[in-house]
């Protein structure tokens, strides 16, 4: 099987969706001729024409508002928000409109819309280009949020997201676009929108992570293995809903948990995992729930980014604390 980059896997997934359903439309700022500023839609306009793959005026609320209008006239929009920091321009369309569509019309009208957007730090980019804004999105009723960490999952999840008859925010980790490569089948396959994945099995501690932190967890686990600490790594993949079954099963075995996220600590996916564990799995634990997350500050200037972002060393430290408790 060919090794492909994370971004190539996304392009392939969108390509398959366009080929399978003539009602699928792909659009956003610069996604047409230019193939997107990161080239995630590279070559798709040539292949499917300007009617189905096109660039839009520079206005995020317009892009996602338009998606709703296209959805109710029979189309299946795959909209790109160029950077997740620009998504707040369109928050009304997401929170007040599309996520309520099925609820408001008893399913007679729906919003089968995929919002693709790059997010996440570590690339020393401009302000509001690298922030982790998923904390804001995972509490929106009617909205699914996924964040793949591997090329394989990226392709399978983008296809599932586009096929979903409910709106899905598909978070593409900026740092992983070209740094991650993996085996990706050429043909169509899907990854479920609501299942976490056990990336590595272990017996002493469970590390729950997603997106860019999964590889940091892996680095930490490799180091800990040298000291005979065996870590199980769970990649959430879906931030809403959270697959608590997979996490609880793991805790029955390891009795310790470290929850990792790149986003600020307040009220995010990690907090939700911790809350779910305290409600439903606290009896399996031999140590307090540990969390590794960024501080509740504004996303730092690029010069401070490497220190500010939680990394393998922070995860390793938290695991040792849990194991030695």
Partner 1 sequence: MANAKAVDFAKIKAEEGAPYAKPVQILDNDGNVVNKDLMANFTDDQLVDLMKKMVWERALHEQTMSFSQQGRLGFYAPTWGEEASEMGTVSAFKKQDFMFPAYRDLPQLIQHGATVAQMYLWSKGHIKGNLFDARALRPQIIIGAQMVEMAGAALGIKKNGEEDTVAFAYTGEGGSSQGDTYEGMNFAGAYQAPAVFIIQNNGWAISYPRDHQTHAQTIAQKGVAAGIPAVQVDGMDVLACYQVAKEAREFAAAGNGPVLIETLTYRFGAHSSAGDDPSRYRTEEEEKPWFDKDPLIRLRKYLTNKGLWSEDEEAKYADECKADFKEQMKEADAVEPEKVTDMLKRTFEVPTPDIKEEIKKYEAKESK
Q: Is 70 in the site for partner 1 (CB under 8 A)?
A: yes
Residues 128-157 interacting with partner 1 (rule: CB under 8 A): 141-142, 144
Q: Is 278 in the site for partner 1 (CB under 8 A)?
A: no
Q: Which two tokens stand for residue 306?
A: 């490497």
Q: Is 51 in the site for partner 1 (CB under 8 A)?
A: yes
Q: Is 197 in the site for partner 1 (CB under 8 A)?
A: no
- H/E stretch holding 104 reads helix 101-105
Q: Which two tokens stand for residue 112?
A: 């089968």
In 106-153, at which residue ranges do the beta strands (DSSP E only) sit?
114-119, 144-146
* 124 carries an active-site annotation: no
User: Which of 266, 321, 265, 272 shows the shortest CA–CA distance to 293?
Assistant: 265
Q: Is 18 in the site for partner 1 (CB under 8 A)?
A: no
Tell the smallest beta-carbon distance from residue 278 to partner 1 (Å): 15
Residues 105-124 interacting with partner 1 (rule: CB under 8 A): 105-110
Pick the catalytic residue from 129, 175, 197, 255.
129
Tell the smallest beta-carbon distance from residue 55 to partner 1 (Å): 10
26 phi and psi angles, rounded to 5 deg: -125, 125
How do 181-183 and 3-5 pair as beta strands?
antiparallel
Q: Is 69 in the site for partner 1 (CB under 8 A)?
A: yes
Residue from 33, 43, 49, 104 binding partner 1 (CB under 8 A): 104
Q: Is 96 in the site for partner 1 (CB under 8 A)?
A: yes
Q: Using CA atoms, how far apart are residues 285 and 254, in angstroms rounded to an integer?
A: 8
Which of 85/212 has CB closer to partner 1?
85
Q: Using CA atoms, how far apart are residues 154 and 160, in angstroms rounded to an integer?
A: 10
Neighbours of 239 (CB within 10 A): 25
Q: Is 243 in the site for partner 1 (CB under 8 A)?
A: yes
Tell the smallest beta-carbon distance from residue 281 to partner 1 (Å): 14
238 phi and psi angles, rounded to 5 deg: -105, 125
Tell the smallest beta-carbon distance from residue 316 to partner 1 (Å): 31
Tell the smallest beta-carbon distance from residue 161 to partner 1 (Å): 13
Total residues binding partner 1 (CB under 8 A): 44
Q: Is 74 in the site for partner 1 (CB under 8 A)?
A: yes
Per DSSP, helices labelled H in 164-301 are 176-179, 213-225, 244-254, 269-280
Q: Using CA atoms, how far apart are residues 313 and 291, in angstroms rounded to an integer?
A: 13
Q: Using CA atoms, how far apart are residues 269 and 266, in angstroms rounded to an integer?
A: 9
Residue from 165, 179, 200, 230 binding partner 1 (CB under 8 A): 165
For residue 237, give every residue at least 6 positions away whose Cβ sits within 8 Å of its Cβ, in sequence order, or none. Answer: 146, 147, 148, 149, 153, 157, 191, 195, 196, 197, 210, 243
Tell the smallest beta-carbon distance from residue 108 to partner 1 (Å): 6
Q: Is 103 in the site for partner 1 (CB under 8 A)?
A: yes
Residues annotated as catalytic are: 129
Binding interface with partner 1 (CB under 8 A): 25, 51, 56-57, 59, 61-62, 64-75, 92-93, 96-97, 102-110, 141-142, 144, 164-166, 194, 240-241, 243-245
């Amino acid at each position: 099987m060919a090794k492909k980059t994370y971004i190539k896997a996304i392009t392939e997934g969108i390509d398959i969706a366009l080929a399978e359903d003539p009602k699928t439309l792909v659009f956003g700022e610069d996604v047409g001729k230019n193939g997107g500023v990161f080239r995630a839609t590279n070559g798709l306009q040539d292949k499917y024409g300007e009617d189905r793959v096109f660039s839009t005026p520079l206005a995020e609320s317009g892009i996602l508002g338009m998606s709703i209008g296209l959805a109710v006239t029979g189309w299946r929009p795959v909209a790109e928000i160029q950077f997740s920091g620009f998504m707040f321009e369109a928050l009304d369309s997401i929170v007040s409109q599309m996520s309520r569509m099925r609820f408001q019309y008893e399913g007679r009208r729906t919003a089968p819309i995929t919002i693709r957007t790059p997010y996440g730090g570590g690339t020393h980019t401009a302000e509001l280009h690298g922030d982790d804004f998923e904390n804001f999105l995972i509490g929106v009723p009617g909205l699914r949020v996924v964040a793949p960490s591997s090329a394989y999952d990226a392709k399978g999840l983008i296809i599932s997201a586009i096929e979903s008859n409910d709106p899905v925010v598909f978070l593409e980790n900026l740092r992983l676009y070209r740094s991650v490569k993996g085996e990706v089948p050429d043909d169509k396959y899907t990854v479920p929108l609501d299942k976490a994945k056990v990336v590595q099995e272990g017996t002493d501690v469970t590390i729950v992570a997603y997106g860019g932190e999964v590889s940091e967890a892996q680095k930490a686990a490799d180091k800990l293995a040298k000291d005979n600490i065996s870590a199980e790594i769970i990649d959430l993949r879906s931030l809403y809903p959270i697959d608590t079954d997979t996490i609880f099963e793991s805790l029955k075995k390891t009795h310790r948990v470290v929850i990792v996220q790149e986003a600020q600590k307040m009220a995010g996916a990690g907090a939700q995992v911790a809350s779910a564990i305290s409600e439903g799995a606290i009896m399996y634990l031999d140590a307090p729930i540990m969390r590794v997350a960024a501080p509740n500050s504004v996303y730092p200037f690029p010069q401070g980014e490497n220190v500010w972002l939680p990394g393998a060393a922070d995860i390793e430290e938290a695991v040792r604390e849990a194991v030695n408790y």
